[in-house]
Amino acid sequence: MSLPSAPTSRSERYIGRFAPSPTGPLHFGSLVCALGSFLDAIAHGGHWLIRMEDLDPPREMPGAAERILHSLHAHGLRSHFPVVWQSKRHDLYQQALQQLRARDQVYRCSCTREQVRKAGGHTRDNCIGASGPYALRFACAGTREGFADIWQGTQQQAIDEDPILKRKDGLYAYQLAVVVDDIAQGINHVVRGADLLDCTGIQQSLFRALGAEPPHFGHLPLVMNDAGQKLSKQNHAAPLDDSKASLNLIQALGFLGLRPPHELAANTPAHILAWASAHWQRKAVDRHNRLLD
Ligand code: GLU
């Protein structure tokens, strides 16, 4: 798999994905994202794939990746292609960095966060950090990116800091790997949680810098807890109970605006997903983050 050297046009067939980071087991909010991305792909005659974003070992929980795959499987959400693991794709990320370096779009920076902020987000010509380990930054601060989000509408994002593509500790950054893999896997629709909306401008800019057309983006509403925070591993959202897969799916469908008939809950996940693919409507999804009904 190599990155395109010239702009590629989107392939006709919809290709979507779910790309969890194995920092903990899936919770109900992650099921909503997995299900939304799956249904949008299937309802558009597309393919859907799972990519394991195991890029950051210090943040990972042992066994979480396998548990996530087990949960997805139990809920009938199966990748149409073999699951890709980011930990096995470092060569591809390195190659992308070289491509950007050849175009003078990355630079070394040893500044601290505070120093970068004081330098106005862009330290290419005035890196003031002490010598020592350096990060690689993508020069894009000061530009703007616009896109039409499927659910969140027209977006305009000003990029105010050059993002890190490779960290000082030598790890490849999420922003780089996610874009490189979306390009390499021919992803033309990214459906994910609204917590990632703010990263999209940077990613769009990176798609172009790597010679690829950005995908369509759709950011789904987040499931909130009583304290008004999104469900997350950090605030101890309960792990999905795989033995209640059908019930979990029915509840997630409700959150996404579908009204499955009562008796569907007694069916298998495969049946429920077949019903949901036939009834999926983007416009039924309420774009606002909210509690579960
Ligand atoms: N791996 C990221 C996460 O779990 C999601 C990446 C994406 O969907 O773009 O938050």
Are residues 163 and 143 in contact, defined by beta-carbon separation less than 8 angstroms? Answer: no
Instruction: Ligand 1, residue 195: give the atom nearest the CA.
Output: 10
Average pLDDT over residues 48-54: 98
d(CA 88, CA 53): 10
Residue 263 has a pLDDT of 95
Residue 184 has a pLDDT of 98
Residue 5 in this model has a pLDDT that exceeds 50: no
Cα of 199 from ligand 1 centre, angstroms: 10
Instruction: Ligand 1, residue 192: give the atom nearest the CA.
Output: 8
Per-residue pLDDT tens for 52-88? 999 999 999 999 999 999 999 999 999 999 999 999 9
pLDDT band at 105 (very low <50, low <70, confident <90, very high): very high
Q: Where are the domains of the chain?
A: 12-97+181-291
Instruction: Ligand 1, residue 18: give the atom nearest the CA.
Output: 8
Cα of 18 from ligand 1 centre, angstroms: 8
Per-residue pLDDT tens for 227-282? 888 888 777 789 999 999 999 999 999 999 999 999 999 999 999 999 999 999 99
Correct CATH for 12-97+181-291 of 3.40.50.10860, 2.60.40.10, 3.40.50.2020, 3.40.50.620 = 3.40.50.620
SS (H, E, C) 183-210: HHCCCCEEEEEHHHHHHHHHHHHHHHHC
